[in-house]
Amino acid sequence: MMFDLSRLMMNPWKMNAGLLDAFYPPKDISTNGHLIDFLFYYTTAMNIFFFTLVCLGLFGFSYLYHHKRHPKPYYTHGNKKKQILITTLIGLAVFFGIDATITSISNQDLVNTFWKFPTEEEKPVKVEVLAQQWMWTFRHPGEDGEFNTADDILVNHDLHLPVNRKIEFRITSKDVIHSFYLPNTRLKVDAIPGRVTRMWVELTEPGVYDIACAEMCGTHHYLMKGRLIVHSEEDYLAWKAEASRIAKYENDTDNPEFYWGWKWGNN
């Protein structure tokens, strides 16, 4: 069965895009993106709340103590017990309501979710990601399931993945620091030369989405736009079979540069 990309190009999110759409985040197509969205909306709501409170105080007191109502000025250093108490309470409310809360929630998200990498039993789809000025290269293990062998599937710019499977990325860079960013999953992680970073995701909706570099990496940083192509399980297998077949002919295995990948340990 030939894999048909055109069917997936119908991404409803990208159609009918109006000016207002710029205010909304891209569609979340991951199982855990909502955790990041919650933090974002919580921080925004709390900031609006405290901003309103400060404005009410600023403009409210300016109005109440206008010189027409209070011709005799009142001077204070703000160091009376009541004033110190109110200032301290507002400071504590901001600290615990925003800083401590988002730190605690994001730490829990990291430990309980984003750092809970899929186990071997969960049979994650594994991908190696190589960033370089200015391109992404994705390396999929071929039929042998091993990385850095002659049957690996290498694709520039396009990342083909199945829906409803756990996917683990191991990421590195050839030159400078880049950042592998999937806006529709809210996830990003730095790609660092000489180091392997990790990220995992589970996708919920087939379609074609953006891949970006989220680290200013040079003059052609903007060229590091890739495509995340999310397939149904069936289409993914068809794509992989086709890509494996092509890899047999196209892989330049005499070139040592071909073997930039690495075997996966437990790190």
217 touches Cu ion by CB under 5 A? yes
Site for Cu ion in 136-175 (CB under 5 A): none
Q: Candidates 139, 140, 170, 178: give the one binding Cu ion (CB under 5 A).
A: 178
Instruction: Tell the smallest beta-carbon distance from residue 195 to Cu ion (Å).
Output: 15
Instruction: Tell the smallest beta-carbon distance from residue 41 to Cu ion (Å).
Output: 28
Q: Check: CB of residue 207 under 8 Å from CB of residue 160.
A: no
Instruction: Tell the smallest beta-carbon distance from residue 186 to Cu ion (Å).
Output: 19
- Report in angstroms the alpha-carbon separations of 186 from 38, 92, 174, 200: 11, 30, 24, 12
Interior/surface letters 157-195, b for 16+ CB within 10 angstroms, e for the rest? eebbbbbebbbbbbbbbeebebbbbbbbbbbbbbbbeee
Q: Which stretch binds Cu ion (CB under 5 A): 35-43, 50-58, 72-80, 207-215?
A: 207-215
Instruction: Tell the smallest beta-carbon distance from residue 19 to Cu ion (Å).
Output: 29
191 touches Cu ion by CB under 5 A? no
Q: Which stretch binds Cu ion (CB under 5 A): 77-85, 105-113, 196-204, 213-221?
A: 213-221
Q: Candidates 130, 187, 224, 229: give the one binding Cu ion (CB under 5 A).
A: 224
Ordered DSSP codes for 123-172 = --EEEEEEEETTEEEEEE--TT--SSSTT-EEEESEEEEETTSEEEEEEE
> Which of 129/153 has CB closer to Cu ion?
129
Ordered DSSP codes for 90-111 = HHHHHIIIIIIHHHHHHHHHII
Q: Which stretch binds Cu ion (CB under 5 A): 8-16, 42-50, 104-112, 216-224?
A: 216-224
Instruction: Tell the smallest beta-carbon distance from residue 179 to Cu ion (Å).
Output: 7
Residues in contact with 39: Cβ distance below 8 Å, sequence separation at least 6, in sequence order: 102, 105, 106, 109
Instruction: Tell the smallest beta-carbon distance from residue 213 to Cu ion (Å).
Output: 3
Please report, as ranges, the residues that interact with Cu ion according to CB under 5 A.
178, 213, 217, 224
